[in-house]
Amino acid sequence: MLAIMLKIKCITNLHVGNGDVNYNIIDNEVEKDPVTCYPMINASGVKGAMREHFSKSRRLSSKDVDNIFGSESSGQTTSGKLKFLDADMLTIPMRASSGDSAYYLVSTNKALDRYVKYCKIFFGNDTMYLEQDEKIQGKSVEGVALAKKTLLLDEEIYLISDNEFKGIPLPVVARNKLENGISKNLWYEEIVPHESVFYFPVIAGDEDKELLEKFRNAVDSQVIQFGANASIGYGLCMVTVVEG
């Protein structure tokens, strides 16, 4: 089995909906992992966004696109040769309530440990993130003191506990439905803020090494749109291959 790891860095705000009907204050919530409750991008959404991007660009031939993502012709469906996993959250920015920055990239040990677990499973790599044991002095987000600092995927990440992380809500924006320029309905949508980071593995069989390498070269440093609201600039993300 072969695999590559891809990093998604949000350039603009992101909304990948969970498809549920809500009767809460928030009309549209983002998709979250059912176990950790952290924001995520479902594998089908990752694959769909990738396919749309490469179907429109010329970085891959139409044959390679069909081989990578699958095809449907004459009523027959062929599965893609590469397997896309869910994109898990690594870190999101939170507004600083004290410190020398407007915001800090925040995560938890649980989120970082999942990344390390993926590295062990798919790459046989026991690389751990760099962790500082000393307490961070004078820095906090949303009234929560930052504990430790780590460096992972070229991001300087500050850690808080899982309970503290879940206690800080994602940003919510008000959206307005207009008809002929007249406001008809105000509704609220949860977003994952820009600067957030996700990651996901792409897996191939040993016989598809060349195809995986083609995809790796084509996808590295590409700006790809994920999720909804593309017409207002949501979901633009930089996708890069994680080296090492």
Please give the biggest Cα pair distance in the chain: 64
In 101-208, which residue ranges form alpha helices assigned H by DSSP? 109-123, 162-167
pLDDT at 12 over 90: yes
Angstrom distances, CA of residue 191 to CA of 96, 119, 228, 237: 18, 28, 11, 14
Residue-averaged pLDDT of the chain: 88
Supply the pLDDT for residue 43. 95
What's the pTM value of the predicted model, to 2 decimals? Answer: 0.90
Supply the pLDDT for residue 197. 98
Cα–Cα distance for residue pair 83/60, rounded to 1 Å: 17
What is the DSSP-derived secondary structure letter of residue 32? B
Cα–Cα distance for residue pair 93/175, rounded to 1 Å: 22
Supply the pLDDT for residue 77. 80
Band of residue 207 on the pLDDT scale cut at 50, 70, 90:
very high
Helix axes 62-69, 209-219, angle to 10 degrees: 110
202-203-204-209 Cα dihedral, nearest 10 degrees: 60
Supply the pLDDT for residue 188. 80
Band of residue 230 on the pLDDT scale cut at 50, 70, 90:
confident
pLDDT by residue (tens digit) across 84-96?
999 999 999 999 9
